[in-house]
Protein backbone atom coordinates (compact mmCIF):
# COMPACT_ATOMS: atom_id res chain seq x y z
CA UNK A 1 0.00 0.00 0.00
CA UNK A 2 1.10 3.55 -0.71
CA UNK A 3 2.78 5.21 2.30
CA UNK A 4 0.31 8.11 2.28
CA UNK A 5 -2.65 5.77 2.57
CA UNK A 6 -0.90 3.71 5.23
CA UNK A 7 -0.11 6.77 7.33
CA UNK A 8 -3.62 8.19 7.25
CA UNK A 9 -5.21 4.82 7.94
CA UNK A 10 -2.82 4.22 10.83
CA UNK A 11 -3.55 7.65 12.30
CA UNK A 12 -7.29 7.06 12.02
CA UNK A 13 -7.04 3.71 13.80
CA UNK A 14 -5.03 5.31 16.58
CA UNK A 15 -7.37 8.29 16.89
CA UNK A 16 -4.73 10.91 16.11
CA UNK A 17 -4.21 13.62 13.52
CA UNK A 18 -1.32 14.26 11.12
CA UNK A 19 1.24 17.03 11.09
CA UNK A 20 2.59 17.91 7.66
CA UNK A 21 5.38 20.49 7.54
CA UNK A 22 6.50 21.93 4.21
CA UNK A 23 10.12 22.03 3.07
CA UNK A 24 11.49 23.42 -0.17
CA UNK A 25 13.73 20.92 -1.95
CA UNK A 26 17.15 22.51 -2.37
CA UNK A 27 16.66 25.06 0.38
CA UNK A 28 18.76 26.23 2.09
CA UNK A 29 20.89 23.88 -0.04
CA UNK A 30 20.60 20.67 -1.97
CA UNK A 31 22.94 19.05 0.53
CA UNK A 32 20.65 20.00 3.42
CA UNK A 33 17.49 18.50 1.94
CA UNK A 34 17.98 14.85 3.01
CA UNK A 35 19.12 15.90 6.47
CA UNK A 36 16.16 18.27 6.92
CA UNK A 37 13.68 15.58 5.89
CA UNK A 38 15.19 13.24 8.47
CA UNK A 39 15.13 16.00 11.10
CA UNK A 40 11.45 16.62 10.34
CA UNK A 41 10.65 12.95 10.84
CA UNK A 42 12.59 12.79 14.09
CA UNK A 43 10.81 15.91 15.37
CA UNK A 44 7.37 14.39 14.89
CA UNK A 45 6.28 15.10 11.33
CA UNK A 46 3.82 12.49 10.07
CA UNK A 47 4.49 13.38 6.45
CA UNK A 48 6.30 16.17 4.62
CA UNK A 49 5.17 18.29 1.71
CA UNK A 50 8.24 18.85 -0.46
CA UNK A 51 8.08 21.90 -2.70
CA UNK A 52 9.75 21.53 -6.10
CA UNK A 53 11.18 25.00 -6.85
CA UNK A 54 9.56 26.81 -9.75
CA UNK A 55 10.30 30.25 -11.17
CA UNK A 56 6.63 31.28 -11.17
CA UNK A 57 5.04 29.50 -8.19
CA UNK A 58 1.30 29.20 -7.81
CA UNK A 59 -0.32 30.64 -4.64
CA UNK A 60 2.93 30.75 -2.70
CA UNK A 61 3.54 33.83 -0.60
CA UNK A 62 6.79 35.80 -0.37
CA UNK A 63 8.53 33.51 2.14
CA UNK A 64 8.18 30.36 0.06
CA UNK A 65 8.77 32.26 -3.18
CA UNK A 66 12.06 33.49 -1.76
CA UNK A 67 13.08 29.94 -0.86
CA UNK A 68 12.33 28.83 -4.43
CA UNK A 69 14.39 31.68 -5.87
CA UNK A 70 17.26 30.84 -3.53
CA UNK A 71 17.15 27.14 -4.40
CA UNK A 72 17.07 27.77 -8.15
CA UNK A 73 19.94 30.26 -7.92
CA UNK A 74 22.01 27.60 -6.16
CA UNK A 75 21.48 25.06 -8.91
CA UNK A 76 18.36 23.24 -7.85
CA UNK A 77 16.74 21.21 -10.64
CA UNK A 78 13.92 18.68 -10.66
CA UNK A 79 16.42 15.85 -11.01
CA UNK A 80 18.53 17.09 -8.10
CA UNK A 81 15.44 17.57 -5.94
CA UNK A 82 14.35 13.99 -6.59
CA UNK A 83 17.88 12.80 -5.85
CA UNK A 84 17.66 14.58 -2.50
CA UNK A 85 14.46 12.72 -1.68
CA UNK A 86 16.07 9.41 -2.65
CA UNK A 87 19.03 10.27 -0.41
CA UNK A 88 16.62 10.97 2.46
CA UNK A 89 15.12 7.51 2.05
CA UNK A 90 18.61 6.03 2.33
CA UNK A 91 19.15 8.01 5.54
CA UNK A 92 16.10 6.31 7.05
CA UNK A 93 13.17 8.59 6.21
CA UNK A 94 10.08 6.36 6.19
CA UNK A 95 7.22 8.87 6.49
CA UNK A 96 5.22 9.81 3.38
CA UNK A 97 6.66 12.52 1.15
CA UNK A 98 4.31 14.41 -1.16
CA UNK A 99 5.79 16.67 -3.83
CA UNK A 100 4.10 20.03 -4.35
CA UNK A 101 4.75 20.71 -8.02
CA UNK A 102 3.45 23.04 -10.69
CA UNK A 103 1.84 21.12 -13.52
CA UNK A 104 4.08 23.04 -15.94
CA UNK A 105 6.97 20.92 -14.64
CA UNK A 106 4.96 17.71 -14.89
CA UNK A 107 3.63 18.51 -18.36
CA UNK A 108 7.09 19.33 -19.72
CA UNK A 109 8.31 15.84 -18.87
CA UNK A 110 5.04 13.99 -19.47
CA UNK A 111 2.75 13.01 -16.62
CA UNK A 112 3.51 9.30 -16.78
CA UNK A 113 7.27 9.79 -17.07
CA UNK A 114 7.40 12.38 -14.30
CA UNK A 115 5.25 10.29 -11.98
CA UNK A 116 7.39 7.21 -12.55
CA UNK A 117 10.56 9.20 -11.83
CA UNK A 118 9.01 10.45 -8.59
CA UNK A 119 8.01 6.94 -7.54
CA UNK A 120 11.49 5.64 -8.34
CA UNK A 121 13.02 8.27 -6.05
CA UNK A 122 10.76 7.68 -3.04
CA UNK A 123 7.94 10.17 -3.56
CA UNK A 124 4.51 8.93 -2.48
CA UNK A 125 2.17 11.51 -3.95
CA UNK A 126 1.85 14.67 -5.99
CA UNK A 127 0.15 17.84 -4.81
CA UNK A 128 -0.96 19.63 -7.97
CA UNK A 129 -2.00 23.22 -7.26
CA UNK A 130 -2.76 24.35 -10.78
CA UNK A 131 -4.31 21.46 -12.70
CA UNK A 132 -7.50 22.49 -14.52
CA UNK A 133 -10.41 20.46 -13.21
CA UNK A 134 -11.44 19.52 -16.74
CA UNK A 135 -8.06 17.90 -17.42
CA UNK A 136 -7.56 16.42 -13.95
CA UNK A 137 -9.15 12.96 -14.39
CA UNK A 138 -6.65 11.80 -17.00
CA UNK A 139 -3.76 13.28 -15.01
CA UNK A 140 -4.85 11.60 -11.78
CA UNK A 141 -5.14 8.27 -13.63
CA UNK A 142 -1.59 8.58 -14.95
CA UNK A 143 -0.25 9.47 -11.51
CA UNK A 144 -2.06 6.49 -9.96
CA UNK A 145 -0.69 4.19 -12.66
CA UNK A 146 2.80 5.01 -11.39
CA UNK A 147 1.79 4.05 -7.85
CA UNK A 148 1.49 7.61 -6.55
CA UNK A 149 -1.47 9.42 -5.02
CA UNK A 150 -2.89 12.73 -6.17
CA UNK A 151 -3.92 15.71 -4.09
CA UNK A 152 -5.73 18.74 -5.49
CA UNK A 153 -6.52 22.03 -3.79
CA UNK A 154 -9.98 23.16 -2.72
CA UNK A 155 -10.46 26.88 -2.08
CA UNK A 156 -13.11 28.28 0.26
CA UNK A 157 -14.39 30.39 -2.64
CA UNK A 158 -14.96 27.40 -4.95
CA UNK A 159 -18.65 26.70 -5.68
CA UNK A 160 -20.02 23.62 -3.90
CA UNK A 161 -20.26 21.53 -7.08
CA UNK A 162 -16.68 22.31 -8.02
CA UNK A 163 -15.41 21.52 -4.52
CA UNK A 164 -17.15 18.14 -4.70
CA UNK A 165 -15.70 17.37 -8.13
CA UNK A 166 -12.18 18.22 -6.98
CA UNK A 167 -12.50 16.22 -3.75
CA UNK A 168 -13.70 13.12 -5.60
CA UNK A 169 -10.56 13.13 -7.76
CA UNK A 170 -8.18 13.12 -4.78
CA UNK A 171 -6.87 9.73 -3.69
CA UNK A 172 -4.08 10.88 -1.35
CA UNK A 173 -5.79 13.58 0.64
CA UNK A 174 -7.82 16.68 -0.08
CA UNK A 175 -5.89 19.90 0.46
CA UNK A 176 -8.35 22.46 1.80
CA UNK A 177 -7.11 26.05 1.77
CA UNK A 178 -8.00 27.87 4.96
CA UNK A 179 -8.04 31.13 3.02
CA UNK A 180 -8.13 32.26 -0.59
CA UNK A 181 -5.02 33.90 -1.94
CA UNK A 182 -1.41 33.08 -1.14
CA UNK A 183 0.43 31.20 1.58
CA UNK A 184 1.75 33.01 4.62
CA UNK A 185 1.47 33.23 8.38
CA UNK A 186 -1.75 34.69 9.81
CA UNK A 187 -2.70 35.70 13.32
CA UNK A 188 -6.19 34.20 13.05
CA UNK A 189 -7.87 31.60 10.86
CA UNK A 190 -11.30 31.98 9.24
CA UNK A 191 -14.37 30.76 11.10
CA UNK A 192 -15.68 28.88 8.09
CA UNK A 193 -13.03 26.13 8.12
CA UNK A 194 -15.14 23.72 10.21
CA UNK A 195 -18.36 23.95 8.16
CA UNK A 196 -16.46 23.79 4.87
CA UNK A 197 -14.51 20.70 5.93
CA UNK A 198 -17.79 19.14 7.11
CA UNK A 199 -19.28 19.72 3.66
CA UNK A 200 -16.29 18.03 2.03
CA UNK A 201 -16.78 15.00 4.30
CA UNK A 202 -20.17 14.48 2.67
CA UNK A 203 -18.63 13.94 -0.78
CA UNK A 204 -15.40 12.04 -0.04
CA UNK A 205 -13.95 9.47 2.35
CA UNK A 206 -10.40 10.62 1.55
CA UNK A 207 -8.58 12.39 4.39
CA UNK A 208 -8.71 16.19 4.47
CA UNK A 209 -5.76 18.38 5.42
CA UNK A 210 -5.90 22.13 5.96
CA UNK A 211 -3.12 24.47 4.92
CA UNK A 212 -2.34 28.17 4.27
CA UNK A 213 -1.83 30.44 7.26
CA UNK A 214 -1.17 27.81 9.91
CA UNK A 215 1.85 28.74 11.99
CA UNK A 216 1.27 27.96 15.68
CA UNK A 217 0.50 24.97 17.87
CA UNK A 218 -2.88 26.50 18.70
CA UNK A 219 -3.76 26.84 15.02
CA UNK A 220 -2.72 23.23 14.44
CA UNK A 221 -5.02 22.26 17.30
CA UNK A 222 -7.82 24.39 15.87
CA UNK A 223 -7.81 22.88 12.37
CA UNK A 224 -7.25 19.28 13.45
CA UNK A 225 -10.41 19.39 15.53
CA UNK A 226 -12.18 19.01 12.18
CA UNK A 227 -9.50 17.97 9.67
CA UNK A 228 -7.25 14.92 9.47
CA UNK A 229 -4.06 16.92 9.24
CA UNK A 230 -2.47 20.37 9.37
CA UNK A 231 0.01 21.67 6.80
CA UNK A 232 2.56 24.23 8.00
CA UNK A 233 4.76 25.92 5.41
CA UNK A 234 5.76 29.58 5.53
CA UNK A 235 6.38 29.61 9.28
CA UNK A 236 8.90 26.76 8.99
CA UNK A 237 10.62 28.22 5.93
CA UNK A 238 10.93 31.55 7.78
CA UNK A 239 12.70 29.76 10.64
CA UNK A 240 15.09 28.20 8.12
CA UNK A 241 15.70 31.59 6.52
CA UNK A 242 17.04 32.80 9.86
CA UNK A 243 19.81 30.16 9.68
CA UNK A 244 20.12 30.06 5.90
CA UNK A 245 23.90 30.59 5.99
CA UNK A 246 24.56 28.42 9.05
CA UNK A 247 25.85 24.82 8.98
CA UNK A 248 23.35 22.10 8.08
CA UNK A 249 23.32 20.89 11.68
CA UNK A 250 22.03 24.29 12.80
CA UNK A 251 19.37 24.25 10.08
CA UNK A 252 18.19 20.82 11.17
CA UNK A 253 18.10 21.95 14.79
CA UNK A 254 16.01 25.00 13.89
CA UNK A 255 13.58 22.97 11.79
CA UNK A 256 13.28 20.22 14.39
CA UNK A 257 12.70 22.68 17.21
CA UNK A 258 9.90 24.45 15.34
CA UNK A 259 8.23 21.18 14.30
CA UNK A 260 8.26 19.98 17.90
CA UNK A 261 6.76 23.31 18.94
CA UNK A 262 3.81 23.07 16.57
CA UNK A 263 3.38 19.32 17.12
CA UNK A 264 2.29 20.20 20.63
CA UNK A 265 -1.00 21.22 19.03
CA UNK A 266 -1.74 17.57 18.28
CA UNK A 267 -1.55 16.51 21.93
Where are the extended beta strands (E) located within the chain? 18-24, 48-51, 97-100, 125-128, 149-154, 174-177, 208-211, 229-232
SS3 18: strand
Instruction: Please tell me the distance from the alpha carbon of residue 201 to that of residue 207, in angstroms, as a whole number.
Output: 9
The dihedral over CA atoms of 115, 50, 88, 260, expressed in degrees to the nearest 10, equals -150
Question: Is 49 designated active site?
Answer: yes
Q: How far apart are CA 51 and CA 49, in angstroms?
A: 6
Residue 124 annotated to the active site:
no
Per the residue annotation, which of 35, 46, 60, 124 is the catalytic one?
A: 60
Pairwise CA distance, residues 49 & 53, whole Å:
12
From the list 35, 46, 49, 228, the catalytic residue is 49
Positions marked catalytic = 49, 60
Amino acid sequence: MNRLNQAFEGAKREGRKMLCPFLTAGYPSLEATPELLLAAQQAGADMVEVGIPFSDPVADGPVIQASYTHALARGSTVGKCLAGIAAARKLGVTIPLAAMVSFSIVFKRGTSEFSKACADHGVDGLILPDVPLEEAPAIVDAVREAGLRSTLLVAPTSPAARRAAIARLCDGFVYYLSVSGITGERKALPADIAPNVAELRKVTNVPICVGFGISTAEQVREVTRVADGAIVGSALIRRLAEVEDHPIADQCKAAGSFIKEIAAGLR
